[in-house]
Structure 1
Amino acid sequence: MSNISVSTNGAKRSTGTKGDVVLEVNDLNVSFPTDDGLVHAVRGVTYELRRGQSLGIVGESGSGKSVTSMAIMGLLPKTAQITGSARLEGDELLGLGDAELSRIRGKKISMIFQDPLTSLNPVYTVGFQLAEAVRVHYPDVSKSEARTRCIDLLDSVGIPNPQQRVDAYPHELSGGMRQRVVIAIAMANNPDVIIADEPTTALDVTVQAQVLEALEKAREEVNAALILITHDLGVIAGHTDDVLVMYAGKPVEQGTVDEIFYEPRMPYTLGLIGSLPRMDEDRNQRLTPVHGTPPSMLNLPPGCPFRPRCPMHQDICAEVEPDLMPIGPTGHVSACHFSDQLEGKAPDDVFAAVATDLSVEAEVEAAEAEAAALHAQEEEK
């Protein structure tokens, strides 16, 4: 493995001790005003991330995974209404201006976006863009030093012939190579936190494994904390320490990988696991899908957002949205009124025997329509 340290002319940044809390997010809420009302995209996300730790954030599309990280990075539009706290090594990120955040982004916290082709500028070589990521934070680094650094980075993430590839344009590289270039840019300045937003989307399985391996190497090389955002539980199982499951903009279960996969205590988590093909199951074994669709984040009805899709719902689920409650002393938490009844349950035990409750879905749709009508009346007044 090539040496990937950054020369800063003697000004070395402390990397801290593995296990120290590097990112602390507390009660993060994000809303977007629209013509139809306020969309509550993120509702009360809280977690701690330690140096060297990897956290997987999972959930269906629209659950608030990416918005959470974009809020931390300061990349949301100015119309976004953000409350709560996000502290990087004790320093508050929310509320900082773009100039202040630009000094932090890419140096202390980096983000790997979903589509590498749109993340890279098509008119500049990958080497130019890698060197720019270094020199914008360390202007004293010479062009020759930056080029050497770029070659080392490309070699570190597994790109063959880095001496030649450094002068290639993005369109001359495959999708997997482009994603590895984006990973190299993210690790260029030895950041404290790397956020990877679905980095393996649209890649075949072989290339996906190579990209994930490059991401693991990046984390190990710079001793960074990693946030891996994905909807693929298979990726989460093999590459993270802890898991945060999100639904309707809110965390519904959090724990270690083993706790989430072997002791899930939220019906939605069980549904996600049941939708995942398994190598140890019979070939003719059918998957256990979660029926229905996620709710609209505009005018959410009262109660548990997962209620219309949950076979276990009862009257209290329509009235009170459950908070995250501890499951034992380990830090495993779940937001379900009946989490104690899920001990030892498999996805088939919860979902297979019960069809979608269409009456509940209709009831929730009626409640949403009523809330929208009341909102429209208030605006008219």
Structure 2
Amino acid sequence: MSGELVDGVVPPSVSNRANVLEVENLRVDFPTDDGLVRAVRGLSYTLAPREVLGIVGESGSGKSVASLAVMGLLPKNARVSGQVRFGDENLLGLSESALARYRGEHIAMIFQDPMTSLNPVYTVGWQIAEAIRAHRNVSQRAALEKAVELLRLVGIPQAADRVHNYPHEFSGGMRQRAVIACAIANDPDVIIADEPTTALDVTVQAQVLESLRIARERTGAAMILITHDLGVVAGQADRVLVMYAGKPVEVGTADDVFYRPRMPYTLGLLGSLPRLDVGGRRRLTPIQGSPPSLINLPPGCPFAPRCPMRQPICQQEEPELRPTDHPGHLAACHFSDSLVGVAPSDLFRPTARDDVLPEDAGDSAAPEVTA
């Protein structure tokens, strides 16, 4: 990594730090004609070297806005506060020219739509080569040779020929793998993958996820994997952060979140996920209703209007993340202790309630809670 000064800032090495990235009390607001949109309302997390942190939630939960804030790519009208620390530097306090030194070389991003991420008028190889030359003093020929190597690494067949193709000559899955190649071109410390498998069929998703795994092994990078697909997170993430209405509502290891959830919203997400590892025929148990408006949030817990467990305190006081019975497992629920051993079907109604299968029959009332 270069020690070149940029606006008085020396990009630090993070190899000896406990955390490669630290986000503290990140807030993002957007003023609109209808009012202030509070897109991110106090997000904090750490990312250790080589760790994969999965961030999940419904559309509008703030997960993608938070990642764009980390990269400094939000529109000018965004109001951003908090801290995003890479090494000893708060990235939120840097100028655009200083931030450009970090993007690509230290923190890289994979966007969800590869067709808009790649310029249609330049070849794929040229674009990867330019990403390399933006941070490395190498010739165009050397950069193009590196581009071939990277395309081969992420599984593009006949990479030496394909490097001269334009984006429209690649399939959707190949374009996404080309974007991954571009992201790892400079061996970044952190890769942010924002919905990398959206709009891809299941087979191609598996290929792209394998390319991501290879990319992480090749670079040694930590990764933030942003998705609404819990199946993707289950197979990739070390830790999981669940977001709702702009705030984290549960954080823990993948095992904690998937097998010991302590927040009703997390249970609802899990109940909406088709499972192949559970015997018998089970109906999905989706969450009723819609997420709240980020302009006019309800008082108390924002999930309360959709929560079968809600009590008066839930509509009066918004819970903060607090420890559960497992170290490092946090949940934002007044009654998280009441969720021990509770399954999604114990809390939410199954689909097509008038045609419940025999093994789904029984009392589906929410568990009792103690205020």
TM-score, normalised with respect to structure 2: 0.90
Residue 55 of structure 1 corresponds to 53
- Measured after TM superposition, the shift of residue 99 of structure 1 is 1.2
Residue 324 of structure 1 corresponds to 321
Say if 2:251 and 2:329, in contact at 8 Å, map to a contact too. Answer: yes
Alignment equivalent of 1:244, drawn from 234, 241, 246: 241
Give, as a single letter, the amino acid of the residue that structure 1 aligns with 2:42.
G
Residue 371 of structure 1 corresponds to none
Matched, 1:223 2:213: no
Say if 1:230 and 1:236, in contact at 8 Å, map to a contact too. Answer: yes
- Measured after TM superposition, the shift of residue 293 of structure 1 is 0.3
Q: Deviations over 1:69-102 (max 9, x none)?
A: 0001000011111110000122111032211111
Give, as a single letter, the amino acid of the residue that structure 2 aligns with 1:304.
C
Residue 374 of structure 1 corresponds to none
- Measured after TM superposition, the shift of residue 328 of structure 1 is 2.7
Residue 182 of structure 1 corresponds to 179
CA change 1:283–1:115 in 2 (3 A) is: farther
Q: 2: CA distance between counterparts of 1:120 and 1:285?
A: 42
Give, as a single letter, the amino acid of the residue that structure 2 aligns with 1:303.
G
Residue 332 of structure 2 corresponds to 335
Residue 358 of structure 1 corresponds to none
Residue 66 of structure 1 corresponds to 64
Residue 348 of structure 2 corresponds to 351
Say if 2:57 and 2:242, in contact at 8 Å, map to a contact too. Answer: yes
- Measured after TM superposition, the shift of residue 107 of structure 1 is 0.6
Say if 2:251 and 2:257, in contact at 8 Å, map to a contact too. Answer: yes
The percentage of counterpart residues that share the same residue type is 64
Q: Deviations over 1:315-349 (max 9, x none)?
A: 00110000000013511000000000000110011
Say if 1:7 and 1:141, in contact at 8 Å, map to a contact too. Answer: no
Residue 368 of structure 1 corresponds to none
- Measured after TM superposition, the shift of residue 299 of structure 1 is 2.2
SS at match of 1:203: coil
Q: 1: CA distance between counterparts of 2:208 and 2:192?
A: 14
Q: Deviations over 1:269-302 (max 9, x none)?
A: 0000000101133563210010000000002121
Structure-to-structure mapping, 1:88-99, within 5 angstroms: 88-99=86-97
Give, as a single letter, the amino acid of the residue that structure 2 aligns with 1:312.
M
Alignment equivalent of 1:214, drawn from 202, 211, 214: 211
Moved >3 Å (runs of 4+):
281-284
Say if 2:131 and 2:182, in contact at 8 Å, map to a contact too. Answer: yes
Residue 145 of structure 2 corresponds to 148
Higher mean C-alpha deviation, range 220-229 or range 279-288? 279-288
Q: 1: CA distance between counterparts of 2:2 and 2:279?
A: 54
Say if 1:192 and 1:225, in contact at 8 Å, map to a contact too. Answer: yes
Alignment equivalent of 1:38, drawn from 36, 39, 42: 36
Say if 1:192 and 1:224, in contact at 8 Å, map to a contact too. Answer: yes
SS at match of 1:85: strand
Q: 2: CA distance between counterparts of 1:84 and 1:15?
A: 21
Say if 1:254 and 1:260, in contact at 8 Å, map to a contact too. Answer: yes
Give, as a single letter, the amino acid of the residue that structure 2 aligns with 1:322.
P
- Measured after TM superposition, the shift of residue 137 of structure 1 is 1.0
Q: 2: CA distance between counterparts of 1:89 and 1:292?
A: 42
How many residues were matched structurally?
345
- Measured after TM superposition, the shift of residue 20 of structure 1 is 2.9
Q: 2: CA distance between counterparts of 1:231 and 1:321?
A: 24
Say if 2:58 and 2:228, in contact at 8 Å, map to a contact too. Answer: yes
Matched, 1:20 2:44: no
Residue 84 of structure 2 corresponds to 86
Q: 2: CA distance between counterparts of 1:354 and 1:294?
A: 22
TM-score, normalised with respect to structure 1: 0.88
Residue 297 of structure 1 corresponds to 294
Q: 1: CA distance between counterparts of 2:89 and 2:155?
A: 34
Q: 2: CA distance between counterparts of 1:14 and 1:98?
A: 20
Q: 2: CA distance between counterparts of 1:171 and 1:133?
A: 20
- Measured after TM superposition, the shift of residue 37 of structure 1 is 1.2
Residue 196 of structure 1 corresponds to 193
Residue 128 of structure 1 corresponds to 126
Q: 2: CA distance between counterparts of 1:128 and 1:261?
A: 42
Q: 1: CA distance between counterparts of 2:37 and 2:28?
A: 8
Q: Show structure 2 runs of 5+ residues with no match.
A: 4-11, 350-363, 367-371
Say if 1:198 and 1:229, in contact at 8 Å, map to a contact too. Answer: yes
CA RMSD of aligned residues (A): 1.8
Q: 2: CA distance between counterparts of 1:320 and 1:301?
A: 10
Q: Show structure 1 runs of 5+ residues with no match.
A: 1-5, 356-381
